[in-house]
Structures are given as structure tokens and as C-alpha cells.
Amino acid sequence: MDVEQAKKILQENEIKQVLCAFADVRGYLQTFSIPARKFIEGGAFEGIGFDGSSIRGFKSINESDMVWVPDVSTLKIVPWETDPVQKTAIMFGDVYEAWGSAQSDADPRGYVAKRMEKKLADLGLSAIFGPEIEFFLFENVDPTKLIYDLWVSPNGGTGDSWGPPRVMPESPELASGGFIIRPKEGYFRPPPEDTTVTYRNELVDILEKLDVMVEYHHHEVATAGQVELDFEPKTMVDVGDAFYLYKFAAKNLAAMYGMIATFMPKPLYLDNASGMHVHQSLWEGEPFSGKNIFADPDDEYMLSQKARYYIGGLLEHAKALTALTAPTVNSYKRLVPGFEAPIYICWSPRNRSALIRVPMYHKKPSAIRAEYRGVDPSTNPYLSLPAMVAAGLDGIKKKIEPGDPIMEDVYELSPARKRELGIGELPTTLRDAIDHLATDEVIQDVLGTHIFDAFMEIKIDEWNQYCLYITPWEFMKYLDI
């Protein structure tokens, strides 16, 4: 799509406003609105100035002028805005320095993701990704209301295991007077137990109008409206854009239902959390039509040697990657034993207890891929996807062997057996993860100096805020000390 085609779309659909979209360093979607006539009649396609000092991780106040430049190929009409006054389109763009003089090194999409795509192209390669994005759909969450509910406490609520008060969401799947989905029993539940079907069906329709084509969707393992909708694989920048369209649509549709869609990784105590497993593969030439270099029809698992090296690179850099793939304090409430989350650094075919799984659904070269399971939906995909590719390419460059695949349930292995197999563990806190990122030059190089420094500053501050907070658990545990 070129500028003239974009103008035609805006005119023919009588669009009144254009949401100009980009992501900050944390991974939050940022938008501002420009009347569509500024694109149709004016010079808005040349770029629009904004205050970069008000965007987390971008610029200081003394160098705040920045320019958002639209990527016309991403123009989409927002399907649910049908009122003539409210008709809106959304378009992603890249961020440039003052005067539009140079690509900004503060921009995750334009500087990190596009730079990695160019590096791959220079190598004659391309990468495709298929994320499995999970989230919760609540009727309401009120952080000011703490409920003391003993039945969820570990070990029956005895001895030192009495649970603290917790914030419980309002959900029809937890309400009395109807069917209740018990914790960890929600996977593939049908209606009427699954109360999200109507919402999901409508979300699929919206996403497909935004060119995010859904492959399948279902209720996930947790109770209280945990769902997953998976869309067709895309290349790096496109999949990052689709990730934000997915969140944008899910949250807005939920609001229209009088509900809340949350991508917080672990909102429920003692139930499964939301992950974002990322399927990925490298291709020679064009994606989908070229050659999948991960595939070897003669191998037991259909995996090429380069795929094994790529997996080796992911395992080698897994601890540093976790700072980007699980970038919140809450992420590490997910990365614990007992809730199907990957905490052990190993790989395996079929095995969902490993950090990296090689799916074995279809025995055809185009379907061969690695699934990195240590990602959650709080990630910034413009940072984490390029970082995963950089780790994999480092594995190919250095010929890092991933070791033998682990065929056992890693959760059931004894500590001695895990040591014998050389299985390490992912960081257990955000602080641990950013400390590993601070020593990993391969991942730092992908981010660039500015984004690395900004990300570290933001996350260290986030960790310090968390450490200072006094939680209800501490009152329950220590008030009578």
C-alpha cells in the first residue's frame, strides 16, 4: 500500500480520525489521534512531531522533540467504530529524531525489530513467528477489596500454609448459582461452563477484519475466564504489530461487554498463569515460500543441525532473555513449579515441561519449528523476538550444541537427576533476570545502548518499588511475631 492508496481508503470509508500507534520501551502501546483530513489533504504522511520526554524510555526533557513517521502498509480501519463521528483507523509508525533526521535508537519497532529483519535479509534469511497469547476476561477487579478465602490455601490451610487475603476478580465462572470452573480445570471446557465463547467469536471477527487471521481459540486451563486465541504466523515486525492489534481489540471488546481483558501474567493465586509461547523458524529467502532451514526430513525429530544450534543459542542465553520475555515482577509468580510454566533450561520434542519444545504435529518441512515457552504477554515483542533470534543466530555461529533432548517430565526429576543431566533454572525474580541481561553482550547488542540503558533503569526502579511495598501476606505472616 502506498500513500495514495491509503488516502483513498480513508476517503472511501469516511474515516474521521487516525490513531497513530507505536510502543514504548516497556512494551505499552502508545497512540495519539490525528484528524483523517490531515492525512488526506495535509502533510501528515511526512511525519508528526511529539514530546518524546513523556514516553517511558525515550528522551530527556532537553532533547524531547521527536517525529512519528507512519508505515502506510499498516493502515487498518477500527471495525467497532461505526458511528459517523467516531469512524477511526489505526496505523503503526516508526520514531525519528528531531527534524525527522534519523531513525531513533529509542524506538523498539523501528530500531530493534526492523534492524534485526535487515540483518536476517543480509544473511539471505527471514524468520517467522507464531505466538500463543493467553489472557483473562474478568467482570471486575477491585484492588481495594481483599478477601480471606481459606479454601485456596496450600495443604488445606494448616500450619504455616494459611493463605493471606487476596484480590479476587469477579467472574461468572467463579459465581455461585451456576457452573463453576475449578482451578486448573478450565482447558477446552465447553459452554455453558465456558462463559467466554460469545466474546471470543466476536473477537475473532474483529481480528480478521484487522488482518490478524485466527487459527483457533479456546478456554485455557485456569478458571475465571482464561482464554487463548492463536493467529497465523507472521514475520518479525508484522507479528509485533499483530500482537498490539490483538491486545487493542481484546481490551476494547471487553470494555464493550462491561468486562476487563487483562494480560497481567499471573492475576490468580494458586491457578495457572497466562503465557505467550512463541513458535519460530528461520527460512532461506522469503518466508513461507523459501526453504525452512530448521527442517531435515532424515532426522528423527525432523530437525536440522542448524535448528539444533539455534536451540543451543536460545538455551545459552535463556537467563538474559528472560528479562525481556518475562519483564515484570508479576512474571515470576508464573515461573514457578506446578503450574505448567517452564522453569528448567532444557529442550525436548513434545515435552511441555521443557523451556523449548519441538512440536510434533505434522511431519512436513514447513511445519518444523522451535517453541520457546518462557515468554508471557507482558513482553515487548519488538524487543524479545529480535533478542531470541540473536540468541539463536549466536548458537548457529558458535555451533552451540543443545545437548540431548530431555524425554522425561522435568518437574518430576530429583535435584540430583537434574544436576546429572545439566539442567539449569531460569531466574526466579526480575532482579535476577536483569542481572543476567547486564552481562550478556549478544542481547545487549540487539537492543542498542540507549534501549538497554533505558530498559535497565526502568526495571531496576520497578524492582525497587516492589521491594519497598508491604504486602498483605507480610501482615498475615509477621504481625504476631
Q: Residue 261: name the closest of 318, 321, 200, 307 by CA.
A: 200
Per the listing, cell 493467529 goes with 231
**How far is the C-alpha of 456 from the C-alpha of 282, rounded, in Å?**
29
371 catalytic? Reply is yes
Q: Within 13 Å and on the Cβ side, how many CA atoms surround 212?
A: 31
186 residue type, one letter = G
Q: Exactly one of 107, 371, 394, 440 is catalytic; name it.
A: 371
Q: Collapsing DSSP states into helix, strand and coil, what is residue 2?
A: coil
373 catalytic? Reply is yes
Residue count (the chain): 481
134 catalytic? Reply is yes
Query: CA-based angle 220:164:171, to the nearest 5?
Result: 35
Q: Residue 106: name the closest of 447, 355, 415 by CA.
A: 447
Instruction: Give CA 30 to chain center in angstroms.
Output: 16
Q: Exactly one of 46, 51, 63, 457 is catalytic; name it.
A: 51
Inter-CA distances, 243 with 20, 126, 197, 384, 406, Å: 16, 19, 21, 12, 31
Q: Exactly one of 71, 81, 94, 132 is catalytic; name it.
A: 132
Q: Exactly one of 134, 139, 271, 394 is catalytic; name it.
A: 134
Q: Exactly one of 200, 219, 369, 373 is catalytic; name it.
A: 373
Is the separation of the CB atoms in 372 and 381 below 8 Å?
Answer: no
Is the separation of the CB atoms in 30 and 21 below 8 Å?
Answer: yes
Q: Exactly one of 109, 200, 277, 357 is catalytic; name it.
A: 277
97 catalytic? Reply is no
Q: Exactly one of 71, 228, 271, 440 is catalytic; name it.
A: 228
Inter-CA distances, 315 with 105, 370, 425, Å: 28, 12, 10
Is the separation of the CB atoms in 167 and 471 below 8 Å?
Answer: no
Inter-CA distances, 263 with 251, 297, 331, 431, Å: 9, 38, 11, 21
462 catalytic? Reply is no
Q: Residue 424: name the closest of 269, 286, 268, 317 by CA.
A: 317
Secondary structure tally for the chain: helices H, strands E: 13, 18
Q: Residue 402: name the closest of 354, 335, 337 by CA.
A: 354
14 catalytic? Reply is no
What's the grid cell of residue 462?
520497578
51 catalytic? Reply is yes
N-terminal to C-terminal alpha carbon distance within the chain? 67
317 catalytic? Reply is no
Is the separation of the CB atoms in 381 and 243 below 8 Å?
Answer: yes
Residues designated as active site: 51, 132, 134, 220, 228, 277, 352, 371, 373
